[in-house]
Structure 1
Amino acid sequence: MHHMSGTVPEEAVRMTAWVRGRVQGVGFRWFTRARALAIGDLRGFALNREDGRVQVVAEGPRESCEKLLAWLREGDTPGAVTGVTEIWATPRGGYADFAVR
């Protein structure tokens, strides 16, 4: 992959995913953070919801967000994922890094 000088960087997006299954109390948020950092150029957070789901918000290049989403769906995640619902939006910003909440 080569970039010509003066090309516009890939547009940033906001990906919010709700992960269902046995995903709390198994280190899921920490693994998600580690994966986001490994992919790189992602900011956001992973949060346990009261209904048992984990909410993952990632902002960055679409390709990076799609890699994280694919890992949430089919990767070597801890616990047992039974489903992932995602929505795409424009970034809101304000995240210094990728955090566990």
Structure 2
Amino acid sequence: MTRLLLALAGVILLAVTALALVWLIGQVLVGLGAVLVGAVGVLGRLLWFLLVTGLLAGLVYFVTSAWRPALRARGGSEPARPASVAPVRLEKPPVTPDTSA
């Protein structure tokens, strides 16, 4: 009879341990799922932000590159340059022979 009771207690203990492990694995999977859902939410909003920002930046680039009053006023493709600015010529310094030898 003692062997039967010990075997029954062992089976019950094994069943309780298995149920506790199943519950623990479920808790871990729920936590992992919550982390994954949160990461997907954050990455989705980041993707939306980058798309909207890229679209607006492209629009700003297009508008600023298309609107140039200096080019339109002169009617040419070269930007306006003040007439008083003369081109700068750089002269090479005179070369002196090395007499230290």
* TM-score where L is the length of structure 1: 0.21
Task: Tell me which protein shows more helix as a share of its residues.
Answer: 2
* TM-score where L is the length of structure 2: 0.21
Greater C-alpha Rg: 2
**Larger RCO, structures 1/2 (Cα 8 Å, 6+ apart):** 1
